[in-house]
């Protein structure tokens, strides 16, 4: 598959930055605290290279909890929200519910936080193309799992991709000022959606010129 050109990547980075900013603003509102985020990095990655790329990006993580959200509409795919070990403890403090978290309470916070981030991010991105998106299901993929175990679960050795050979990797980190809240976002797009996104980017580029 042909990679995106630099003009397409430049516009996608700009739109992604806006979308991530919207997600951070939503968290600001819900938590009543400041949430910062890194400049999003965007790259199309093959299935065979994805395991190594994620290891390169997130090797500093020890234990992680991951929420998976599937979506469809103009674009279809899955978004993974990868939370650091202390993320939900920080959320509890921000919400005034500090103390030892029950498994059920932590799962609830994982789901609610993920819905805010995924919804704001994807709706903003798709809205840039005047398209629509719908969320299919949200599930907790794992809790407090060593990062290497997560990679083995996501990409079992010797397996072939079921839904995609290439995907667009968009990664960013959120950080809450009041504590150790680390959350990375990884968006996997189906192969047809990668081409649809290319077309939508080209339309916006043509409109600018």
For the chain, what are the domain ranges? Answer: 6-208
pLDDT of residue 115: 93
Q: What is the mean pLDDT of the chain?
A: 86
* pLDDT beyond 60 at 188: yes
Contact 14, 208 (CB under 8 A): no
Contact 109, 143 (CB under 8 A): no
The SS3 of residue 42 is: strand
Instruction: For domain 6-208, give the CATH superfamily.
Output: CheC-like (3.40.1550.10)
User: What DSSP string describes 132-152?
Assistant: -EEEEEEEEEEEEEEHHHHHH
Contact 80, 141 (CB under 8 A): yes
pLDDT of residue 70: 93
Tens of pLDDT, residues 29-41: 888 888 888 888 8
pLDDT of residue 164: 65
* pLDDT beyond 70 at 198: yes
Tens of pLDDT, residues 44-100: 888 778 888 888 887 777 888 999 999 999 999 999 998 888 787 878 777 776 666
Tokens of 207: 């409109």
What percentage of the chain reaches a pLDDT higher than 70?
92
Q: What average pLDDT does this structure show over 108-131?
A: 92
**What is the distance of C-alpha 112 from the center of its chain?**
15
């Amino acid at each position: 598959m042909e990679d995106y050109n630099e003009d397409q990547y430049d516009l996608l980075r700009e739109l992604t930055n806006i979308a991530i900013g919207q997600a951070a603003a939503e968290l600001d509102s819900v938590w009543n605290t400041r949430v910062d985020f890194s400049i999003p990095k965007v790259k199309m990655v093959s299935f065979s290279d994805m395991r190594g790329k994620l290891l390169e990006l997130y090797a500093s993580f020890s234990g992680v909890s991951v929420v998976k959200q599937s979506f469809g509409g103009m674009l279809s795919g899955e978004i993974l929200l990868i939370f650091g070990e202390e993320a939900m403890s920080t959320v509890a403090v921000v919400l005034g519910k500090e103390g030892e978290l029950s498994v059920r309470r932590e799962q609830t916070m994982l789901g609610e936080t993920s819905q805010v981030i995924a919804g704001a991010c994807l709706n903003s991105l798709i809205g840039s193309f005047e398209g629509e998106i719908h969320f299919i299901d949200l599930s907790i993929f794992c809790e407090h799992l060593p990062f290497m175990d997560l990679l083995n679960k996501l990409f079992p050795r010797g397996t072939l991709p079921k839904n995609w050979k290439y995907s667009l990797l968009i990664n960013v980190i959120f950080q809450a000022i009041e504590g150790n809240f680390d959350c990375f976002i990884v968006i996997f797009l189906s192969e047809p959606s990668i081409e649809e996104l290319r077309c939508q980017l080209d339309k916006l580029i043509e409109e600018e010129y």
